[in-house]
Chain A
Amino acid sequence: MLQAAQSATVHESEESGFAQELLTFTLGAEEYAIDILKVQEIRGYDAVTTIANAPSFIKGVINLRGTIVPIVDLRIKFAVGVAEYTPFTVVIILNIGGRVVGMVVDAVSDVIALKPEQIRPAPDFASSVDTAYIMGLGALGERMLIVVDIERLMLSSEMALVDEVAH
């Protein structure tokens, strides 16, 4: 079945010219999308262990089946929505280059396939996030999806998730 699904995807992508599958989620009223291949799993928000002297958007670390995983609240980082933790708060666990990171979002919407022509380049504008991490803006009917280069964002020095090269 999995194979059938895969071949269907391949078939589709051949027709539509490298459509990219994206996971969409909401932060406040905004809709974001990330490459689904970077997503390891989705889980609820659990108690975290806070880390001393960490930036406010790093909520702390959790135990994910024996692995210590840092949790980032994208709402605080992107300064959108209200950072409140309800039973419906969702953590997307990402696997980026072997590193596992969790990010708190308000809700996960769905998985969509976007063709390159559906992604418009983002204009330069002032925001709390460097526009370098925004790959483009996806147009899906009325909806506007902010397509984020999640790998680049998470590994950036701005996120303070990785040790910086010794200076």
Chain B
Amino acid sequence: MAIDMSQFYQVFFEEAAEHLASMEALLLAIDPAAPDSEEVNALFRAAHSIKGSSGTFGFQDMMEVTHILETMLDRVRKGEAPLTDDMVDASLVSGDVLKNLLAAHRGEEEADREAAEAICHRLEALCRALEVPSSTVNPAPVAVTPAAPLAMKGFDLFFSLVGDPALEAQSLVQLIAELGSFGVVETIEAPGPGCPNCQLRIFTEVDAEVLRGVLDFVADGATLRVEPFAGPTDEAYGLFGDLDVQAGDAWRTSDDAYGLFEPLPVASLAPASAVVEEAYGFFDDAEVANLLTRQQAAEPYGFFTELPPLEDVPAPVETAYGLFEPLPVAPTVQAPAPVVQKLVEEPIAPPPGPAAAVKKPVARAAGAGDNGSIRVSVEKVDQMINLVGELVITQAMLTQAASNVDPVIFERLINGLAQLERNTRDLQETVMSIRMMPISVVFSRFPRVVRDLSQKLGKQVELKTIGETTEMDKSLVERITDPLTHLVRNSLDHGLETPEKRRAAGKPETGTITLSAYHQSGNIVIEVGDDGAGLNRARILAKAKERGMAVSDAMTDQDVWQLIMEPGFSTAEQVTEVSGRGVGMDVVKKNISAMGGRIELDSMTGVGTRITVRLPLTLAILDGMSVGVGLETYIIPLGYVMESMQPERGMMKSVSGVERLIQVRGEYLPVICLHDVFRIQGAITDWSKGIMVVLEADGQSAALFIDQLVGQHQVVIKSLEANYRRVPGIAGATIMGDGRVALILDVPLLVSMARRVLPAAA
């Protein structure tokens, strides 16, 4: 009977993708010349977790790649080999291969077996290059291998298995085999019928987080506990640590509880090695004894009393065990035998001290692994936003209902309502901010893009990012990624020159691409700048003429730059893999307009190019002006409003007997009467009593005649089409403060309507 693992696949996919992403981020951040050991460890952990879980789920191909990667990283981690640029490159490539394999398992992509094999060979070659003849690995199945700088720790793993109880035994066997690759596993408590709990003890060099990573896939997350094994073995380690002090090791600088264990191997190199080796031998005994029966361990422990140095060093022991305060350590030194006896007598209930102390490092490791976020579906967030919107409306209604009561008699009610208003406003702001994401989510992918591309093109490029914390709506973040990638690639390929050309032009060989993001008057502005050659005006004009476009040499720079956003326009001398096909800027422009944004280009020959993208903060919220016509209220998106005025008689001009034009500062604008277009009863028809709002959309202007201006609001855009259908002239709907629905005008359509209707009327 096979275990149906497929129910856990989704968890695996998500976790593996997260590990891969963090691996890539670490690889890009790491400085091969001076790698931070924390970073190398994190890299190793990520690779290891992927290996462990892909093995558990039977994704052999992924496991093979990660295994070799892990082997290589392990060497680096242990300081046996220096980290090289080549290794970072190979690791990045293997990250890509793993992503591909992962996607293949999800059924999204074709698995690229050749790439997988190629990277395996490359990694293997790197590993072989690292082989140091002097390094010997003790193959004995003893937990402690003195030759290798290991830090063996004991962990107690408490968990209950998920899934069908009948399958548990089998998955437990698999799990133990998996854990066996880390160290020595011992089953303390196996799950039986009606008792899903399971306890394993493992002596290993990997840390709690790795174990947790492996167990997460099989065990019920809620019940999973990884606790350092707090039995007598720890005690023994602590004593070995003391020997290190005698040997002059500087382990005291380590403030980590685990630091106690690390100096172990150094001790073996120290003068006191004979004693230590003996001690090691004893330790094995202790362990074995412990496996057999705990009581027997008391006797070997007595051995310590015969170690002369111990009696001399009570103080360091106490400092070292500061974290483990409640453990009767000091007495150990004074009278070791009885204490050990005591410990051994009640080993099942670990003293609260170690557990509490050990929580610290575990929590820190968890903090390093994820950024404290949870996954929530967008629908849930949208639902929450809707509900909060309702709450705000209800609150407004209550406030209005209470506005007529006597403030003296109903003082508490009025105070309560005021507080409700504050709280709802805070709640609304918080909920709206859930959808907001920092733009670093987008920016973080560019170091990789720039790195790969600059290598391919033989250019030296430095990428600067400014304002990564600028927040924007999640839906925008997703949609801006592709256009931005295109702009960055363009800057790299066309903008920046080769190092030779740059040197000839008197510029530093390394070019700079600057990505910056900031908020400006309700918009988010993203700039992609480079200090390259700039756009070539003459070449663009020549190309445009060649393509038969209506251009002249007298065009302003701005107009010339706009030409490159025409479909199929490319001035690249040759079509490369990267760009030059002329498909691009037009698509970028189209995508950005679709998001309600604009794109601007500035360039100076020889100095550089800057592309500015302006986007609304969110797709869901709009700055609107509410206007009244008859009894109806409409919202005009503020971005289209140029000005508003009360028309005078003389401003209205008639064409063929119908007053259809208004003269505003020497320009004749077509007039749209909203009450005519929407057939609204009871609206003002006298020009001098209403208001003209001058609108501009797609470069065309028109004046909209309405009754009155009501106010300016931020409105949440609601779809009218969800339950109804498209209405010409209406872009959407929103809910006003009083709970009523107001319709949002489709300004571009109204303006173009005016333009189209006008010639017919004339």
Chain A residues with CB under 8 Å of chain B are 47-54, 60-63, 65-70, 99-101, 160-163
Contact = CB atoms under 8 A, between A and B. Distances in A.
A163 to B, nearest CB: 4
B679 A61 contact: no
Interface residues of B, number: 30
Contacts of A70: 723-724
Interface stretch (B78-86, B184-192, B215-223, B739-747): B739-747
A53 B725 CA distance: 13
A60 B724 CA distance: 10
B678 A63 contact: no
B725 A161 contact: yes
B739 A63 contact: yes
B105 to A, nearest CB: 33
B741 A49 contact: yes
Contact of B723 (A50, A101, A160): A101
Nearest to B382: A66
B386 interface: yes
A62 B730 contact: no
B742 A67 contact: no
Residue of B387, B679, B725 with most chain A CB atoms under a 10 A cut-off: B725
A69 B719 CA distance: 10
A52 B729 contact: yes
Given A61-B724, A63-B740, A161-B724, A52 B680 contact: yes
Contact of A53 (B389, B632, B728): B728
A101 B725 CA distance: 12
A90 to B, nearest CB: 19
B395 to A, nearest CB: 14
A52 B725 contact: no
Nearest to B675: A52
Given A49-B741, A51-B743, A63-B741, A68 B722 contact: yes
A47 B728 CA distance: 23
Contact of B735 (A54, A66, A101): A66
A23 to B, nearest CB: 20
A162 B728 CA distance: 14
Contacts of A49: 632, 733, 740-743
Nearest to B742: A49
Contacts of A62: 741
B99 to A, nearest CB: 36
A100 B632 CA distance: 23
Contacts of A60: 741
Contacts of A101: 723
Nearest to A69: B723
A65 B389 CA distance: 8
Nearest to A101: B723
B390 A52 contact: no
Contacts of A48: 741
Interface in B703-762: 718-730, 733, 735, 739-743
| Closest CB pairs A-B (n = 3) | A52-B678, A66-B386, A49-B741
Given A68-B741, A163-B726, A52 B679 contact: yes
A46 B728 CA distance: 25
19 contacts: A47-B740, A49-B740, A49-B742, A49-B743, A50-B632, A51-B724, A52-B678, A63-B739, A66-B389, A66-B390, A67-B722, A68-B720, A68-B722, A68-B724, A69-B723, A99-B723, A161-B724, A163-B721, A163-B726
A45 to B, nearest CB: 14
Contacts of B730: 51-52
A162 B741 CA distance: 19
Contacts of A163: 721, 725-726
B167 interface: no
A162 B389 CA distance: 26
A160 B727 CA distance: 11
Contacts of B726: 163
Given A51-B727, A162-B725, 15 more contacts: A49-B632, A49-B733, A49-B742, A50-B632, A53-B727, A61-B724, A61-B733, A62-B741, A65-B387, A65-B390, A66-B390, A66-B718, A68-B722, A70-B724, A99-B723
